[in-house]
Chain A
């Protein structure tokens, strides 16, 4: 714990701080701790949201119910996340190929890929289960008609 005098001197020095002053400098400094951005949700990225929406529409098909569409969005979200992780991995692989030792970073990226993969797998399982239930309901003949007459 610094003394009171030292604390005052620190505060005075901090006021003369030479941190970023321009908007561009502040924006750059704001990203100092930004590593790869893979822990951010896909839908938080406005550039990726349209891709998620388009893929979800493709997966759900025409005339999909709201529930089916929601399940398709989960798949699309995880898939675009996976694609984002793979793009980062590709950049790292290119660096490795160019002679930079980035194997440790590549191994770290694997965790993100595994997580996105599992998320997608869970979403696909839920989508398929809902589809099977729906198709079973469509094909099922009501019981009372079988015993009628």
Chain B
């Protein structure tokens, strides 16, 4: 969706066709809305205003990676949520429960009596839901750490894409300023003949 792309910069390719060329269709999986992704990309285009096809590539990168990051964060939260039963099992085992897995499964199935039992045991031991979450994290720490690594890499790549846009714009500005600097520098050394109209003081 390169609606802001100047058609004189990209002749021959319609603005709508460019994102397809750049990165294919919206990177959504089942349960995600392509319209929501398109909206995110349009907001990125509006904010970053790509000036040429290369910047359009970077903007698409930023949108894709941003979408990925949100998804990975969702996955990380869900990993903890689905590991709640394992976390509760560990906590109950630590509290000396005879059948920790059975009680934890009933608690995970939201059985009112089990919820009451668990609440009471945790309260007696001076523990809260944080202990259960910590147990869940301990049970799935390997997967959690791997998702964290994926997240860190995605965040680094998003920062690199934004830096690249900024770097190119700065380089373009420097290049545009160079001829003016050169003219000023050359003028300082220009030879002027005495008595010429350029130097009336020496006439």
**Which A residues fall within an 8 A CB radius of B?**
51, 54-55, 57-59, 61-62, 75, 79, 82-83, 86-87, 90, 93-94, 96-98, 101, 103-104, 106-107, 110, 113-114, 117, 120-121, 124, 127-128, 132, 135-136, 139-141, 146-147
* Chain B positions within 8 Å of A106 at CB level: 146, 150
A-B contact count, CB below 8 Å? 89
Contact assessment for B150 and A110 in the assembled complex, using a CB-CB cutoff below 8 Å: yes
Known: A54-B13, A124-B164, A146-B190. Is A103-B54 also a contact (CB below 8 A)?
no
A interface: dominant SS: helix
Contact assessment for A90 and B10 in the assembled complex, using a CB-CB cutoff below 8 Å: no
Over the window 20-33 of chain B, the binary record of Cβ atoms lying under 8 Å from chain A Cβ atoms (1 yes, 0 no) is 01111001011100
Q: Could you show 28 A-B contacts with beta carbons less than 8 Å apart? A: A55-B53, A58-B21, A59-B54, A61-B10, A62-B12, A79-B23, A79-B57, A83-B22, A83-B24, A86-B27, A87-B24, A93-B29, A93-B68, A94-B29, A94-B30, A97-B30, A97-B31, A97-B71, A101-B143, A110-B150, A113-B157, A117-B160, A127-B54, A128-B54, A132-B175, A136-B175, A136-B178, A147-B190
Count contacts on B: residues with CB < 8 A to the other chain: 40
How far, in whole Å, are A141 and B185 apart by their CA atoms in the complex? 13
Known: A75-B54, A110-B153, A124-B164. Is A58-B18 also a contact (CB below 8 A)?
yes
Say yes or no for B98: interface residue by CB 8 A criterion: no
* Chain A positions within 8 Å of B27 at CB level: 86, 90
Among A83, A94, A113, A135, point to the contact of B23 (Cβ < 8 A).
A83
In the assembled complex, the CB of B6 is this many whole angstroms from the nearest CB of chain A, namely 11
In the assembled complex, the CB of A47 is this many whole angstroms from the nearest CB of chain B, namely 12
How far, in whole Å, are A20 and B173 apart by their CA atoms in the complex? 63
How far, in whole Å, are A121 and B164 apart by their CA atoms in the complex? 9
Over the window 157-184 of chain B, the binary record of Cβ atoms lying under 8 Å from chain A Cβ atoms (1 yes, 0 no) is 1001000100010010001001100110
Q: Which 9 A-B pairs have the closest CB atoms?
A: A94-B29, A103-B146, A58-B13, A55-B21, A139-B179, A83-B23, A132-B175, A59-B53, A62-B11
* Chain A positions within 8 Å of B160 at CB level: 117
In the assembled complex, the CB of B84 is this many whole angstroms from the nearest CB of chain A, namely 16
In the assembled complex, the CB of A112 is this many whole angstroms from the nearest CB of chain B, namely 12
Known: A58-B53, A94-B30. Is A140-B175 also a contact (CB below 8 A)?
no
In the assembled complex, the CB of B103 is this many whole angstroms from the nearest CB of chain A, namely 24
In the assembled complex, the CB of B39 is this many whole angstroms from the nearest CB of chain A, namely 19
Contact assessment for B30 and A86 in the assembled complex, using a CB-CB cutoff below 8 Å: no
How far, in whole Å, are A120 and B11 apart by their CA atoms in the complex? 22
* Chain A positions within 8 Å of B143 at CB level: 101, 103
